[in-house]
Structure 1
Amino acid sequence: MAYRLERINKEIKRELSNLIQSELKDPRISEMVSITKVKTTNDFRYAKVFVSIYGDKNRQAENMKGLESASAFLRKELGKKIRLRYTPELIFEIDDSIDYGMHIDSILKDIKKSEKEDES
């Protein structure tokens, strides 16, 4: 079951990425939106879609509004492309792991810089 769920998550991620880039015409959704991960519940009723959006917080909020308003369309199109008993309801969330990684990286650089200054 876990293998099937993982396979379906990858398929949903791939199809949603294609749909967002090629089918959505909403001006609120920029081309800098990428799906980083999909987590589907065991009963396939809900899929949490993690998206990475390049830009400031206002731009991210606009993109999320656009994605949420397009979720019914995306779900319908996803149902046509992936044959499941239930097409999962899409729940979009911002994935800030890239920002978090950049923050950790800058902290590590600051630590190295301060260590070099202490040695001199």
Structure 2
Amino acid sequence: MRKNSIKNTRINGEVQKELSSIIRGEIKDPRIHPMTSVMAVEVAPDLKTCRAYISVLGNQEAKEATIRGLNSAEGYIRRQLARNLNLRNTPEIRFILDESIEYGVNMSKLIDDVAKRDASLGKSEEE
């Protein structure tokens, strides 16, 4: 099975949906921040491993605590995945902190700041 085959894409979507549901509703670990999202999931073609990209809305300490909490609950999450999804193998999950949304927001803010500065410079030159 190729990495980006239709079957693999479908499995990625199903695992992402189930992971989101499990993290949101079933894990009671206080380290896991309530504003945690599963951004993407990449399941290996052999279904042995899985990389889950997690986004956390909060400070750096909350992000690190959330990843630690998810890593400690990996066995439970994997068991729930096996129960909810009918896969030949239940993948071993690696949680990776995804800061792409925060990076995009910061870049957008910087662009807006430069645009405002350029607009104010343009007005002062016209006068």
Counterpart check, 1:47 vs 2:46:
no
Aligned to 2:39: 36
* Structure with larger Rg: 2
Unaligned runs of 5+ in 2: none
- For the residues of structure 2 that align with 1:64 and 1:39, how far apart are their CA atoms? 17
One-letter code of the match for 1:52?
Answer: S
Aligned to 1:11: 14
Post-superposition Cα deviations, 1:64-89, rounded to whole Å, max 9, x if no partner, equal 11000001110011011111111000
Post-superposition Cα deviations, 1:21-73, rounded to whole Å, max 9, x if no partner, equal 11111111121111010011111111100011011000111111100000111
Per the normalisation by structure 1, the TM-score is 0.95
- For the residues of structure 1 that align with 2:58 and 2:43, how far apart are their CA atoms? 27
1:1-120 to structure 2, matched below 5 A, reads 1=1, 2-120=5-123
Q: What root-mean-square deviation, in Å, do the aligned CA atoms of Structure 1 and Structure 2 show? A: 1.0
The percent identity for this pair of structures is: 33
Count of residue pairs the alignment pairs up: 120
After TM superposition, the runs of 4+ consecutive aligned structure 1 residues lying more than 4 A away are none
Per the normalisation by structure 2, the TM-score is 0.90
- For the residues of structure 2 that align with 1:4 and 1:98, how far apart are their CA atoms? 27
- For the residues of structure 1 that align with 2:117 and 2:45, how far apart are their CA atoms? 48
